[in-house]
Structure 1
Amino acid sequence: MAREQLGICAEANLHGSYLLCNALDGQEAMLRQKLARIPQMLQRLSEHFSEAMLTGIVAVSSHYWDHLYPWHRPDGLQAFPESQSEYFSVQHSTVDLLIQVRSDRLDVIHIVLQQIYQLIIPNVEVVEHLSSFRYLDGRQLTGFLDVPFNPRGLRRRQVALVEDARSTRFAGSSYLHFHRLVLDQKHWLQLNTTQQEEIMGYRKIDGKAIAGDTIDESSHYACCLATQGGEYSLLQQNMPFATLKQQGSLQLSFSADSQAFTKQWQHRLGLTQPRIYDSLLDFCRIDLAAAFFVPSLSYIEAAARGEFASTTSDLLK
């Protein structure tokens, strides 16, 4: 039975850290070995620091997948959608790897990142090191609860993990879209609560949706759910980030369906219905975006053992 990376469906933490890396030329064989060791490292340190709720993931970008794992490609794995919209633009990234570490202890994250860094630095260039934190009772810096419509309980696994019936080889894996959303907090805070709730589509205090007959079709809530067929088919792990000059959210969307994010994203950009787009985007910009695949532990370990290579030369690709 396939074993998923435990960070996919883990509950929220107090702190998060993210390494965005580009692989150095010709390092694929060595990286296959080292990436398989990172989940083992996380498991070992999670047991050592049992109260820290340590978890994490290793993800491979859509464009680097065929270099690292040339034998099989997940169905529908594509780059972050480069949809053009008159309302919004996205700056895309071409990073090869994403390593996420989350914990309730910041010192534990530091220990883990140091070990990961020492392991992989001969083989990669670290492009970005990002950090995030839990804000109040799970809110974004808009002041609103983050994704109150996120799947809960067993539904999280159903939404995020590829089922064996869909793909035996990639069971327990997940499609991941990552982006950094920068909030125009100055202009957002000039709105009163009623105006903010109209944009979000749900109440600021408790996250409950505004009554259906008054909710705006261009609200964040309506646009996120418009393509979901009644049940939200993304599992989001969003956490705020902030410096003195810039603040916003690091957003990770996991799904068992390769097209779920793209369909939602196109609707949010106003590409599916004229003049209807996510009005929250009027107060945001995205300066970093990439699509990844989070392979199961079973797949990572099998690839590291060379089980998929038909010849010795395959391993050196």
Structure 2
Amino acid sequence: MQNIRVQPVVNPPGENAVFITLTINSDVAALDTIRSFAGNFTALIRSLTKRFLNSHFNAIMGFSSSAWDRLFPNQPKPKELVPFEEIRGEKHTAVSTPGDIFFHIRADSQDVCFELTSIIHQQLSDCTTTIDETHGFRYLDGRAIIGFVDGTENPESMIASEYAVIGDEDPNFKYGSYAFSQKYLHDMQKWQALSTEEQEKVIGRRKFNDMELGDHEKPATAHNNVSKAYDKDGNEMKILRANIAFAHPLKNEYGTYFIGYARSFSVTKQMLKNMFLGNEDGYIDHLLDFSTPISGTLFFIPTYDFLDSLTAD
């Protein structure tokens, strides 16, 4: 990746995060404003990074298929950037929801996340409509709000780019990434009615120490069984997850914001099909009986170099 500035898709989930999804208004002026903002995004991030030097601040900007068509009509398009179509199973559905522009902001404290969020609002509120703004936090020792360690299946940091960043297969968009976002709500009353042993069988891991259950005790419907994807030779394919918890307890709202960065969206899509439609043995993900996705959108994360080129254009 020499001399190529890659957006920080492989960074850890962080202590705090904000996810923002916007749609672009229909007027031509809105497109010009978005292009201008995107062209200056790298400089904005550089400025904030210097201001909050020890905050582990970083941020990502991405575009959906429809946004790409409107913003960059004369540019080539990433090979797998298409509108996400819902995956409807017999019991559960991975919904498809609107979204043109996506931001993933991370920092040690929420005030730093707020700083960029407020700038985004100031500069884009007249030309966009907010679809979602979710504020997440690191829960305990990196657990999902349902109590289990999240991201255990992620590739090790030293090889994460191999799974999350595009290579020579799409040379026009090398070092970019596909980001799929889903916002899940958990039925905590139903979940907490299960014993710890029953919860462990839903997930496929021990709750206390995160050890994987043995084959003799793990159900075929366990989340870490069904959610895996394999290539034609039987090798497991991975993506990079930066999931984070969010909650409004007094509203009885408890959730996980799933964000999966992938070199190829087809890997993420295969995982979703396994979960919602059933894997090759016909088993669907038992966790979906307790966790419901209320959003689902695919975005492409270009390099910082691509964003900078918009100013030159």
TM-score (norm 2): 0.92
Are 2:146 and 1:146 equivalent residues in the alignment?
no
2:163 to 123, 148, 159: 159
Q: 1:274 and 1:293 mapped to 2: Cα distance?
A: 32
Alignment of 1:284-295 (within 5 A): 284-295=291-302
1:238 counterpart = 2:243: yes
Distance 1:210 1:186 in 2: 24
Instruction: Report how many residues are paired.
Output: 304
What is the CA distance between 1:193 and its match in structure 2? 0.9
Deviation at 1:40, TM superposition (A): 2.2
1:276 aligns with 2:283: yes
Per the TM alignment, residue 136 of structure 1 is displaced from its structure 2 partner at its CA by 0.1
Gaps of 5+ in 2: none
Kept after mapping to 1: 8 A contact 2:40/2:311:
no
Q: What is the letter of the counterpart of residue 2 of structure 1? A: I
Kept in 2, the 8 Å contact 1:81–1:262? The answer is no
What fraction of aligned residue pairs are identical, expressed as a percent? Answer: 22
Q: Give the aligned partner of residue 11 of structure 1.
A: 12
- Aligned equivalents of 1:247 and 1:38: distance in 2? 32
2:245/2:256 contact within 8 Å kept: yes
Residues 1:296 and 2:300 are matched in the alignment: no
Separation of aligned partners in 2, 1:152 and 1:80: 28
Aligned with residue 102 of structure 2, among 90, 98, 107: 98
Deviation at 1:274, TM superposition (A): 5.6
Instruction: Quote the residue 2:312 is aligned against.
Output: 305
3-state SS in 2 of match to 1:154: helix
How far, CA to CA, are the matches of 2:254 and 2:42 in structure 1? 30
Shift of 1:87: 1.7
Post-superposition offset of 1:226: 4.3
2:133 aligned partner: 129
Q: Which amino acid aligns with 2:295?
A: L
Q: Distance in 2 between matches of 1:39 and 1:179?
A: 26
Instruction: Give the Cα separation in 1 of the matches to 2:141 and 2:296.
Output: 26
Q: Distance in 2 between matches of 1:23 and 1:304?
A: 19
Structure 1 SS opposite 2:226: helix
Q: TM-score, normalised by structure 1?
A: 0.91
After superposition, give the CA deviation of every residue in 1:49-100 in whole Å (9 maximum; x if it has no partner): 1111101110101222111122211102222241220020233211111112
What residue in structure 2 maps to residue 247 of structure 1?
254
Aligned residue number for residue 168 of structure 1: 171
Hey, what does 1:264 align to over in structure 2? 271
Cα offset, 1:275, TM superposition = 4.1
Q: Does 1:208 align with 2:211?
A: yes
The secondary structure found in structure 2 opposite 1:18 is strand
Aligned counterpart for 2:201 among listed residues 191, 198, 203: 198
Supply the RMSD in Å over aligned alpha carbons. Answer: 1.6
Alpha-carbon distance in structure 2 between the residues aligned to 1:206 and 1:271:
28
Residues in 2 aligned to 1:12 and 1:293: alpha-carbon distance in whole angstroms: 19
Give the AA of the match of 1:47. Answer: K
